[in-house]
Amino acid sequence: MSNIKLPLEVQKELKKISRVAGYLWQREWAERNAGNISMNLTSFFKKADILEITKNKPSMAFDFPKGTRGYVLFITGTGCYLRNLIDKIEEAACILYINDDATGYTIIWGGKREGFGPTCELISHSSIHLFNSENNPTHLAVLHTHPLELIVMSHHPLFDNEDELNRQIWMMCPEVRVFVPKGIHCTPYALSSTAALANVTIEAFKTRNVSLWEKHGATATGEDVEKAWDYLDVANKGAKLLQMCWAAGFKPAGLSDEQLIELEQFI
């Protein structure tokens, strides 16, 4: 598949995505083909250029949310390894254009791996991008990965008490309270690649910074993929510190409620 020359702004975002993919692999948060990344690139392209690029390219049928018509999305591939985004991003991901009635897409860049197709979580990612366009328009990136300590929390009884889970994670260090100010949503289990998973994740982002998928992984959005990574990185740090205390056999003192309130001036 021949590739177009990408706008400079898009090239910069792809470099960020490659960097974050390296972080995920180093952290053991992206085993085999686990996790996926997407970004809404619509604002970086002119519609006339997109129509010129797509006029002779094949279209693939897919039932997108109707509000995503005309979107241009970067998205990773099904079965692709996120570690390949480091140096083989054109094989492990693509940029696609959603057609004007949201019934299909055309790949305009990348997807060079034989048999390539977008991630099976395409419905979740496109739905989240639509939600963000309408409610949080500066957030262009979506990152789903498998942060170890957060996943452990999704198996813990605290998962059934979202407020207390957040309080105990926030109290582990000031940065968690400041940089994940809305906290973690305890998102109930839903089958991967389904509209049900998309729906529960959107509900999570109505109130929280991070959606912790029960017994699965975590998802965050941000202005770019590095900002989305930051939410997950900091939230997981709090969970890790909490579990380290438990493993050492003591209940952490943690920040007091008064100290947590005092930190709100930095939020």
Catalytic residues, which ones?
121
Contact 69, 100 (CB under 8 A): yes
Q: What angle do CA 228, 104, 60 make, to 5 degrees?
A: 105
Give the CA diameter of the chain.
64
- Torsion-angle region of 261 (φ positive above 0: left; ψ -120 to 50: alpha; else: beta): alpha
C-alpha distances out from residue 213 to 152, 189, 203, 235, 246, Å: 11, 6, 12, 14, 22
Round to whole Å and give the CA distance between 116 and 216.
24
Cβ atoms within 10 Å, residue 186: 21
CA-nearest of 101, 109, 110 to 80 is 110
CB 53 within 8 A of CB 108: yes
Answer for the pair 108, 96: CB distance below 8 angstroms, yes or no. Answer: yes
Which residue, 64, 51, 76, 57, is CA-closest to 104?
Answer: 64
Burial 146-164 (b: 16+ CB within 10 A, else e): bbebbbebbeeebbeebee
Structure tokens at 2: 């021949």
